Amino acid sequence: MRFSLKARYAIYGVFDLAYNAGKDPIQSRRVSERQGIPVRYMEQIFQQLRRAGLVASKRGPGGGYVLARPAEEILLRDVIEAVEGPLNLAPEIEGEGQEMSRRPDFLWPELTARFSSTLAETTLARLCREAYRIEMPRDDSDAPMYFI
């Protein structure tokens, strides 16, 4: 199983906002540069995240994006579902009749629940703590680290 590019970019985007947070909003262009994401695509993703209540935007000079909630309250599951919809690991059902009754399709709901639970236990703050622990460079080293 792999996350879609959009889901990965959404995680990278909110992580960047949390890890590089300071007193001012961060422009999507800066996030795009640091994360290697096309600017237009990052902006589209931030719009979806804004509609989901995960990020907030400020227009005008000094504008950009900030987290709408503390990093400790933002779950990876929320980020992924904001851009992809509800998690569902079940494959598209093909076939009919007897062959369908011989497939272990009862497995998919359980796997989806377990995977969703793991993502619900992983906060953005946890990612930031790990990045700090491994000394991942930050854009603004004097920014307050409210997530630790």
* pLDDT tens digit sequence for 94-146: 655 556 567 787 888 888 899 888 899 999 999 999 999 999 998 854 445 55
Q: pTM here?
A: 0.82
For the chain, state the CA radius of gyration: 18
Tally the residues of the chain.
148
d(CA 18, CA 60): 21
pLDDT for residue 94: 62
pLDDT for residue 142: 43
Contacts of 89 by beta carbon, 8 Å cutoff, 6+ apart: 1, 108, 111, 112, 115
Tens digit of each residue's pLDDT (9 = 90 or more) over 10-20: 999 999 999 99
Tens digit of each residue's pLDDT (9 = 90 or more) over 65-95: 999 999 999 999 999 999 999 888 777 666 5
CATH of domain 5-86+123-133: 1.10.10.10
Q: Which of 3, 16, 15, 26 is nearest to 81 (CA)?
A: 3
Rounded average pLDDT over 29-58: 97
pLDDT for residue 25: 96
Q: What angle do CA 49, 136, 38 make, to 5 degrees?
A: 40
Where in the chain are the domains?
A: 5-86+123-133
d(CA 12, CA 42): 10
d(CA 1, CA 60): 40
Contacts of 117 by beta carbon, 8 Å cutoff, 6+ apart: none
